Structure 1
Amino acid sequence: MCVENTPPPPSRLTRRGILAGAAALAGTTAALSAAGTSAAAAAERNGRSADSGRATTGDLVIEGGTLLDPATGEVTEDAVVVIVDGVVRAAGPRSRTQVPEGVDVLDAHGRWILPGLVEAHIHLNTADEAKEAVLKGATSARSGSTNFYQDIAVRELARQVPQLAPRMRAAGIFVTPDLGDTILADPDLTPLAKLRNGVRSLDALRRVVDVNLDRGADVIKTRVNERAGLPEQDPLAQVYDREQLSAVVAAARRGGSGVLCHSYSEKGCHDAVMAGVRSVEHGVFVGERTLHEMRRRGTYFTPTLTAIAGLAESSNPVLAERGRTYLPALEHAVLAAHELGVPLAAGTDSSGGEVDPIGREVELMRAAGLPALDAIRTATTGAAKLLGIEGTAGRLARGFAGDAVLVDGDPLADVTVLKSPVHVVRSGIAL
């Protein structure tokens, strides 16, 4: 059945209301209102006027700690990081770094300073989840999709009040055969409810991508296999073939976006890579031929080790056995990918109101066999490049965002310290 026989309502009439509904569901409207009240009160105390159209950023000096630059591996003791209006103006040894007067100082003596971490696969449905992700170290993130565009609302929250949410690349809604209740959230999707077999035709796939892009999605999320986290589904069963995936990729590219693809089986991973996806998500049974193709194309691998390890702790025996079986296979795939030069990105796949620290994914990358610095890069420079923000996030250098984490202990000796940041700085504001 061709969906194009039923024209959608004019998008100009629906987009504002749809995204307002997403903001209400995510709780970002209330968060913005509260933040605006707090900003106005602070401005009044300081004898200034509040500018509601301007993002809340800060001036801060972080001094005395040991600074790690993931890009070079350089370690600087007794370092100083100067952040002005949310942007790094200088970072280096105290002896060569000029510190402005009258700026708040965060004492980092005895601690290590790293750039804010980048979470490449997370599902942030609410303002509360977004704030928790930041407090656990993720100052930038890519959405793995939400049911009603809540991630787009979270992205707008981050733009206006950065300390309340990670810098976001939003995926909007999942391009999947069964949209479920998501169809109810958007009049432009309602014609798809008539399809007997769900979103499978090339026209239907293009429609979902186009609607996502019209609503403001930065990236597109689709799948090639069923889910591992549902005991009744077979994660090796393929739901889209290469032609269908290619249609999703082509539609996304026309809108200037890339595609992240939920994948498990070797054939599914290979079809996704050959279709041109930007990144393979999960990828437990990805094989050597596909990894070679990923290296050739620059396709990223986001293994979400945290999510797979979590299955082994499930009370459901099917999921627990799946986790115990899948985790060693995925660890092997991660190490093979690293040794071949396939770019890796850290993502926890947190969802359902539970936010895992992105440092846990770094820990599991290290456990899979990556050297500590390379494991850290998967949540800094590597993930930043995947998100297209490598000039903004992943380092603490002049011109980069004033996002940082302070940890107790040397992460090059023990990456587990990244799971529990002592301080998080977002856009020059210490949280």
Structure 2
Amino acid sequence: MCVDAVPPPSRVLTRRGILAGAAALAGTVAVAAPATAAERRGTTGGDRAAGGDLVVRGGTLLDPSTGEVTEDAVVVIRAGVVRAAGARAHTEVPRGLEILEAHGRWILPGLVDAHIHLSTADEARDAVLRGATSARSGSTNFYQDIAVRELARHTPTQAPRLRAAGIFVTPHLGDTVLADPALTPLARLRDGVRSAQSLRRVVEVNLARGADVIKTRVNERAGLPDQDPLTQVYSHEQLSEIVAAARHGGKGVLCHSYSEKGCHDAVTAGIRSLEHGAFVGERTLHEMRRRGTYFTPTLTAIAGLAESPDPVLAERGRTYLPVLKQAVRAAHELGVPLAAGTDSSGGTIDPVGREIELMRAAGLPALDAIRTATTGAARLLGLERTVGRLARGFAGDVIVVDGDPLADVSVLKKPERVVRAGIAL
């Protein structure tokens, strides 16, 4: 049975509702107009709330792009944007600005979590406090991530700068079919969301709701003991339909995957990033390198399975983690771009610094591990001119850590201070 061929919901009306809801969360007056092009891109200029003025002074500054280390550095932030960064002796510091002393500590750009599920204001705030000042959603059940994105634009200290994915394009939507009235006809499909028409439909509704990226799957879940993560749920042809529909709207696709065949089908279908990918093989990694497909292994989530009280999940985590670390190491050696993502969800937000630590444990040099949550992840999100560095014109997002992250990346798990848009938290 096919879905009725009716147009997707109005983009303007839906965005008005989202913006009004986000404004209420932020304690501001509801905004009626649709987002501007700059706001949809998630650039610094798209933040509706003006950022703060701040000088971070006296610490050791690390530039992940170049690896350059600057002692006794200053970072000057005006209206939430970096105006200058470098050695104090050679950097002009305006008078009268608030000072954050960082003597004896290291200064880095705010980190990027490229796979996280943020469904509440508390989760969004917690992610920022743990160092993730920018992020990409791995989907939510009822478009909460789109509201979180708007919350961040109104009140940056309450949420990371976010690329929202909307709802999961998956065979069985469950209660998510209630996320938008335009999805309800899908409830009568006996085999779920599998036909080309129904797959396009879910993507179209996501785009109409303002999603920045599209999230789908090729395998079942690892975090449910009654599912087999190596079982494939979408074919190459079905994945290609999803990718084509997303591209029609100018968006990329991130794909939940585990098996080698599933990974290969997803990559050759044209996805932007491969998520989890524990059993990705060499031929697929070579294809990813050729296409520039990103690998977001979510090592944190797989390591978490090993600590589960459920014996099936615990054994799965213990089995998958060393295989995934080997895949990460192989990907890095081949030049496949890597991005850090924690896959945090359900009220428990893991620090993205933990993912960096696991990248390091998988065999990446410390600087390259740090890049997976700074410059590398920024490129994946299309924010390479906005986040990932502390340089003139970049966002005034900063973490201050108590130790040298090049010697011990674990210091990134517990930032001493976090600055979001020039405001110290």
What range describes the TM-score normalised by the shorter chain of this pair? over 0.9
The alignment status of 1:269 with 2:263, answered yes or no, reads yes
Show the counterpart of 2:327.
Answer: 333
Which letter maps to 2:173?
L
The alignment status of 1:180 with 2:174, answered yes or no, reads yes
Structure 1 residues 313 and 34: CA distance shift in structure 2, 3 A: farther
The alignment status of 1:163 with 2:157, answered yes or no, reads yes
- Cα deviation for residue 235 of structure 1 reads 0.1
The alignment status of 1:260 with 2:254, answered yes or no, reads yes
Structure 1 residues 86 and 201: CA distance shift in structure 2, 3 A: same
Show the counterpart of 2:10.
Answer: 11
Show the counterpart of 2:39.
Answer: none
The alignment status of 1:222 with 2:216, answered yes or no, reads yes
Show the counterpart of 1:49.
Answer: none
Show the counterpart of 1:2.
Answer: 2
Q: Secondary structure at the match of 1:274?
A: helix
Q: Contact 2:273–2:294 at 8 Å: present in 1 too?
A: yes
Show the counterpart of 2:203.
Answer: 209
For each residue in 1:223-269, what CA deviation from the matched residue of structure 2 results, as whole angstroms up to 9, or x when unmatched?
00000000000000000000000000000001010000000000000
2:9 & 2:358 partners in 1: Cα distance? 47
1:336 & 1:9 partners in 2: Cα distance? 42
The alignment status of 1:152 with 2:151, answered yes or no, reads no
Choose from 229, 236, 254 the match for 2:230.
Answer: 236
The alignment status of 1:395 with 2:389, answered yes or no, reads yes
1:14 & 1:90 partners in 2: Cα distance? 41
**Identical residues among aligned pairs (%):** 78
Show the counterpart of 2:353.
Answer: 359
1:90 & 1:13 partners in 2: Cα distance? 39
For each residue in 1:35-83, what CA deviation from the matched residue of structure 2 results, as whole angstroms up to 9, or x when unmatched?
99xxxxxxxxxxxxxxxx9414100000100000000000000001000
Choose from 76, 92, 96 the match for 2:90.
Answer: 96
Choose from 101, 110, 125 the match for 2:104.
Answer: 110
Q: Secondary structure at the match of 1:106?
A: strand
Q: Secondary structure at the match of 2:223?
A: coil
Choose from 250, 274, 277 the match for 1:280.
Answer: 274
Choose from 79, 85, 92 the match for 1:85.
Answer: 79
Show the counterpart of 1:48.
Answer: none
- Cα deviation for residue 31 of structure 1 reads 3.6
Matches within 5 A, 1:284-303: 284-303=278-297
For each residue in 1:374-411, what CA deviation from the matched residue of structure 2 results, as whole angstroms up to 9, or x when unmatched?
00000000000000000000000000000000000000
Q: Secondary structure at the match of 1:114?
A: strand
Which letter maps to 2:399?
V
Which letter maps to 1:229?
G
Structure 1 residues 117 and 344: CA distance shift in structure 2, 3 A: same
2:329 & 2:228 partners in 1: Cα distance? 25
For each residue in 1:73-97, what CA deviation from the matched residue of structure 2 results, as whole angstroms up to 9, or x when unmatched?
0000000100011000000001110
Q: Contact 1:147–1:173 at 8 Å: present in 2 too?
A: yes
Choose from 374, 384, 401 the match for 1:380.
Answer: 374
- Pairwise CA RMSD: 1.6
Q: Contact 1:57–1:427 at 8 Å: present in 2 too?
A: yes
Moved over 3 A (4+): 16-21, 28-31
Instruction: Using structure 2 for the length normalisation, give the TM-score.
Output: 0.94
For each residue in 1:325-369, what CA deviation from the matched residue of structure 2 results, as whole angstroms up to 9, or x when unmatched?
000000000000000000000000000010000000000000001
Q: Secondary structure at the match of 2:56?
A: strand
Q: Contact 2:105–2:402 at 8 Å: present in 1 too?
A: yes
Choose from 54, 75, 82 the match for 2:69.
Answer: 75
Which letter maps to 2:283?
R
Q: Contact 2:115–2:138 at 8 Å: present in 1 too?
A: yes
Q: Contact 1:120–1:302 at 8 Å: present in 2 too?
A: yes
1:12 & 1:62 partners in 2: Cα distance? 41
For each residue in 1:119-161, what CA deviation from the matched residue of structure 2 results, as whole angstroms up to 9, or x when unmatched?
0000000111000000000000000000000000000001111
1:171 & 1:319 partners in 2: Cα distance? 27
Instruction: Using structure 1 for the length normalisation, give the TM-score.
Output: 0.92
1:194 & 1:35 partners in 2: Cα distance? 39
- Cα deviation for residue 14 of structure 1 reads 5.9
Q: Secondary structure at the match of 1:173?
A: coil
1:315 & 1:187 partners in 2: Cα distance? 38
Structure 1 residues 186 and 31: CA distance shift in structure 2, 3 A: closer
Instruction: Structure 2: give runs of 5+ residues left out of the alignment.
Output: 31-46
Show the counterpart of 1:371.
Answer: 365
Q: Contact 2:145–2:164 at 8 Å: present in 1 too?
A: yes
1:345 & 1:323 partners in 2: Cα distance? 20
1:402 & 1:10 partners in 2: Cα distance? 36
Instruction: Structure 1: give runs of 5+ residues left out of the alignment.
Output: 37-52
Aligned length: 409
